[in-house]
């Protein structure tokens, strides 16, 4: 329920002018011509117009007032921010992207019908030639193949099911080795904006009011939710639910803050993967049984998964898209760089 803010002065031009005319006999009885052609009446009209303008301004809650009120709540205005966005790098005529290293500050040219703007990458990124061909969510209620929803603009799907319970998992199947000629893998996660939870302090929990470069959120916090990234080390699917066939994978950076916001997840290369040999974690064609959807695998995918170790999402995360080779860019000056392969 909003409060009714009283107006300091609700008189308009006509009321102010009429009040001034009524005072003429009191203060200037010799002034008898009160018609509009009289110069004195012209001055009264001018002063009435000024009084109405000043009264209107005094009766407003200005931006300065709002800043003062927000300051009482401990909120400060953000400084001007450069334009930012995300760019997905696709394979060009030169061939494979595997191992292509983009340093931080790599120039990116945006051409909008002749209007050119230069951007630069926010952080260093190593590209991969692998493709994300299967996306599967697995919960206590069953399994869902979300590959089509992940590939179709405008569709979304719950990453860990409708409840995001503990032990729910999101499986990613790759065609090709995502770590070929690279020591890391970046996965861009875009969440449905209307399902995002605004960041804020939790009791005495430390709260960073500075905005994050990957999010429009007003700050960051330490969530009570915990997730773990793993990779499959067995070629078959008979032991899909056996925890022994999944090994932890290094998590270098979680820009999603445990799927609380859109961002980039950077995974380190599994230590057991030998770059000179065919990785042992290539899944063979087969069928994943168990509760829910029976998943027929017709390609030798390499599988990663994200498991909810400790649940607690206020709103279960809803994913619009998972993408590879997506880099964050910001508007600004660029410098000459050299593209290299890791």
Domain boundaries, the chain: 13-72, 85-122+333-341, 128-324
Q: Where are the beta strands (DSSP E) in the chain?
A: 84-88, 100-102, 107-112, 115-121, 125-126, 131-139, 142-145, 157-158, 169-175, 184-191, 226-232, 246-248, 251-254, 263-268, 286-288, 295-297, 302-310, 318-324, 326-331, 340-341
Cα distances from 217 to residues 78, 154, 211, 276, in angstroms, run 12, 22, 6, 43
**pLDDT value of position 272:** 63
* Nearest by Cα to 136 from 18, 20, 3, 294: 294
Cα distance between residue 309 and residue 227, in whole Å? 5
pLDDT in tens, the chain (342 residues): 455 666 667 788 999 999 999 999 999 999 888 888 899 999 999 999 999 888 887 777 777 888 888 889 888 877 888 888 888 887 654 556 667 888 888 888 887 777 788 888 888 888 888 889 999 998 888 888 999 999 999 999 999 998 999 999 999 988 888 888 888 899 999 998 765 555 555 445 454 444 444 434 445 667 889 999 998 887 666 666 777 888 899 999 999 999 998 999 999 988 765 544 444 455 555 555 555 444 666 677 888 999 999 998 888 999 999 999 998 899 876 555 444 444
Instruction: Say if residues 239 and 159 touch (Cβ distance below 8 Å).
Output: no
Instruction: Say if residues 145 and 293 touch (Cβ distance below 8 Å).
Output: yes
Q: State the burial class of residue 133 (Cβ atoms within 10 Å of its Cβ: 0-12, 13-18, 19+).
A: middle
And the tokens for 54?
A: 């000043």
Q: Give the distance from CA 61 to its chain's centroid.
A: 31
**pLDDT value of position 19:** 92
Q: Is residue 205 helix, strand or coil?
A: coil
**pLDDT value of position 279:** 45
Q: Give the distance from CA 283 to its chain's centroid.
A: 33
The domain over range 128-324 is classified in CATH as 1.10.3470: no
Q: What is the pTM of this model?
A: 0.66
Cα distance between residue 300 and residue 129, in whole Å? 16
Cα distance between residue 317 and residue 157, in whole Å? 9
How many Cβ atoms from other residues are within 10 Å of residue 324's Cβ?
A: 20
Instruction: Say if residues 191 and 286 touch (Cβ distance below 8 Å).
Output: no
């Amino acid at each position: 329920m909003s409060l009714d803010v009283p107006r300091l002065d609700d008189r308009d031009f006509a009321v102010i002018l009429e009040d001034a005319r009524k005072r003429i006999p009191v203060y200037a009885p010799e002034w008898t011509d009160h018609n509009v052609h009289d110069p004195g009446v012209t001055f009264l009209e001018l002063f009435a117009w000024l009084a109405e303008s000043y009264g209107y301004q005094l009766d407003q809650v200005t931006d300065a007032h709002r800043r003062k009120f927000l300051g009482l709540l401990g909120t400060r205005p953000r400084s001007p921010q450069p334009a930012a966005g995300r760019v997905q790098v696709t394979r060009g005529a030169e061939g494979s992207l595997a191992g292509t290293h983009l340093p931080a500050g790599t120039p990116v040219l945006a051409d909008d019908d002749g209007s050119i703007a230069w951007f630069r990458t926010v952080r260093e990124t190593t590209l991969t030639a692998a493709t994300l061909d299967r996306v599967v969510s697995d919960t206590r209620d069953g399994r869902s193949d979300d590959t089509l929803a992940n590939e179709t603009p405008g569709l979304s799907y719950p990453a860990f099911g409708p409840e995001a319970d503990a032990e729910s998992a999101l499986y990613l199947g790759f065609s090709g080795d995502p770590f070929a000629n690279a020591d890391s893998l970046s996965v861009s996660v875009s969440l449905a904006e209307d399902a995002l939870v605004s960041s804020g302090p939790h009791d005495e929990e430390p709260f960073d009011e500075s905005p994050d470069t990957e999010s429009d959120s007003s700050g960051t916090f330490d969530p009570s939710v915990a997730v773990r990234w793993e990779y499959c080390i067995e070629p078959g699917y008979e032991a899909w639910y056996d925890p022994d066939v999944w090994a932890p994978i290094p998590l270098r950076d979680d820009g999603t803050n445990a799927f609380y916001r859109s961002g980039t997840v950077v995974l380190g290369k599994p230590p057991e993967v030998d770059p000179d040999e065919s990785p042992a974690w290539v899944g063979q064609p087969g069928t994943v049984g168990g509760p829910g959807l029976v998943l027929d695998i017709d390609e030798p995918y390499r599988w990663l998964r994200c498991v909810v170790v400790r649940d607690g999402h206020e709103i279960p995360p809803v994913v619009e898209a998972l993408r590879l080779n997506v880099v964050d860019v910001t508007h600004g000056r660029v410098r000459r760089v050299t593209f290299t392969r890791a």
